């Protein structure tokens, strides 16, 4: 158990488990929590790029859906270069 002070003269207790201490029920709970966090991060990433786009292209052989996917992929690639 770990105690942490918070604003307003309070404290919060958190349970800290080390890798060797995790049993099967703890592992299942942690796995669910990690999966939920991953799903939330993925939803947030998707929401950042949602919206209405007006795309102009000289590629006439592609469907509008494919052009949109290509554009979103380009945006993600550019974002990854900015964060490196």
pLDDT of residue 9: 76
> What pLDDT shows up at residue 18?
65
State residue 55's pLDDT score. 76
Tell me the pTM: 0.39
Using an 8 Å Cβ cutoff, are 19 and 28 in contact? no
Rounded Cα–Cα distance for residues 67 and 73 (Å): 10
Amino acid 65: pLDDT: 83
Type and span of the H or E element at 74:
helix 64-83
pLDDT in tens, the chain (84 residues): 677 777 777 888 776 666 666 677 777 877 888 888 888 888 887 777 677 767 788 878 888 888 888 888 888 889 888 887
14 — alpha (psi -120 to 50), left (phi > 0) or beta?
beta
Helix (H) or strand (E) holding 14: strand 10-14
């Amino acid at each position: 158990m770990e105690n942490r002070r918070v604003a307003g003269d309070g404290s919060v207790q958190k349970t800290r488990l080390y890798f060797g201490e995790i049993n099967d029920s703890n592992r299942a709970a942690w796995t669910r929590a990690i999966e939920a966090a991953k799903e939330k991060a993925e939803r947030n990433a998707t929401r950042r790029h949602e919206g209405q786009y007006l795309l102009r292209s000289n590629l006439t052989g592609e469907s509008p859906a494919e052009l949109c996917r290509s554009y979103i992929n380009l945006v993600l690639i550019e974002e990854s270069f900015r964060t490196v």
